[in-house]
């Protein structure tokens, strides 16, 4: 973990901070507190906001200092437990993890009252990945709406949209019997599954268009 990174968070997003000043000393005290989950959360919020701004979404995660803590808010509402992995009732959940020797993962889940979720996943590390940043929307854990994949330097490699289709579609899940250790296929029925709709564009890491795919604008 590098302390200059979190100091950069303060510098780049200083306009989002109100109230008490977030100083280098305050950030260093967070670093030295040993609370790695909170440390990763701060880095994850910065990383997620960086890509949210890039795709022209105005709803970033705001934050400010109150005494010895940082308070997060989304769309004007304070979000308590934003980094609590077990709290699924909040508008926004933010997760971060990894080490310098493995892939870092940062994830944000933004929930609407309708049940729609915008999920952002950012992967970085020493390993080359085709999918490094993914913006996707889900309803009942099934893809729907706009979908986008970007590189870490913000080149859009894949972009399109999904529509959910009602179906008796069945997932096959590899399962292990805990008593016998026997491996078998478990069939899990799903009520919906996603289909691509409209125009999908595929690019290489340099931004050159490789393929344009035409799909129906809507499936019956």
Could you identify the residue written with the tokens 């997060």? Answer: 72
Is the pLDDT reported for residue 135 higher than 90?
A: yes
Which phi and psi (to 5°) does residue 215 adopt? -125, 165
User: Please, what is the average pLDDT of the chain?
Assistant: 81
Which of the four pLDDT bands, split at 50, 70 and 90, describes residue 83? confident
Is the pLDDT reported for residue 1 higher than 50?
A: no
The whole-number average pLDDT for the span 68-74 is: 85
Which of the four pLDDT bands, split at 50, 70 and 90, describes residue 133? very high
Closest-CA residue to 141 (of 98, 103, 188): 188
The whole-number average pLDDT for the span 71-93 is: 88
CB 46, CB 2: distance < 8 Å:
no
Residue 17 is predicted with a pLDDT of 41
Q: Look up the pTM and report it.
A: 0.75
Residue 169 is predicted with a pLDDT of 67
Q: Pull the structure tokens for residue 218.
A: 């809507």
- DSSP bridge partners of 185: 174
The whole-number average pLDDT for the span 5-21 is: 47
- Residue 48, Cβ density class (10 Å: 0-12 exposed, 13-18 middle, ≥19 buried): buried
Distance of CA 91 to the CA centre of its chain: 13
Is the pLDDT reported for residue 14 higher than 70?
A: no
Q: Pull the structure tokens for residue 163.
A: 């529509």
Which of the four pLDDT bands, split at 50, 70 and 90, describes residue 128? low
- DSSP bridge partners of 146: 161
- Report how far residue 207's alpha carbon sits from residue 157's, in angstroms, rounded to the nearest whole number: 7
The whole-number average pLDDT for the span 112-122 is: 93
Residue 101 is predicted with a pLDDT of 61
pLDDT in tens, 164-200: 988 766 778 888 888 888 888 887 777 788 999 999 9
Buried b vs exposed e over 6-38: b needs ≥16 C-beta within 10 Å?
A: bbebbeebeebbeeeebeeebbeebbeeeeeee
Looking only at Cα atoms, what is the longest distance across the chain? Answer: 59
Residue 34 is predicted with a pLDDT of 62
């Amino acid at each position: 973990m590098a302390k200059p990174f979190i100091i950069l968070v303060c510098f780049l997003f200083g306009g989002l901070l109100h109230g008490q000043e977030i100083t280098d000393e305050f950030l260093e005290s967070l670093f030295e507190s040993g609370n790695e989950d909170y440390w990763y959360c701060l880095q994850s919020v910065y990383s997620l906001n960086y890509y949210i701004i890039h795709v022209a979404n105005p709803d970033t995660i705001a934050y400010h200092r109150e005494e010895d803590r940082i308070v997060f808010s989304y769309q004007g509402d304070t979000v308590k437990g934003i980094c609590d992995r077990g709290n699924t009732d909040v508008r926004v959940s933010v997760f971060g993890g990894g080490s310098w020797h493995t892939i870092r993962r940062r994830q944000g889940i933004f929930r609407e009252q309708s049940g729609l979720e915008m999920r952002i996943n950012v992967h970085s590390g020493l390993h080359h990945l085709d999918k490094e940043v993914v913006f996707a929307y889900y309803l009942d854990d099934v893809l729907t709406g706009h979908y986008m994949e970007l590189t870490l330097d913000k080149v859009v490699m894949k972009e399109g949209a999904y529509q959910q289709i009602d179906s008796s579609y069945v997932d096959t899940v590899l399962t292990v019997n805990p008593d016998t250790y026997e491996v078998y296929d478990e069939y899990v029925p799903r009520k919906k599954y996603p289909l691509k709709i409209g125009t999908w564009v595929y690019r290489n890491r340099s931004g050159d268009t490789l393929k344009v795919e035409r799909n129906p604008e809507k499936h019956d």
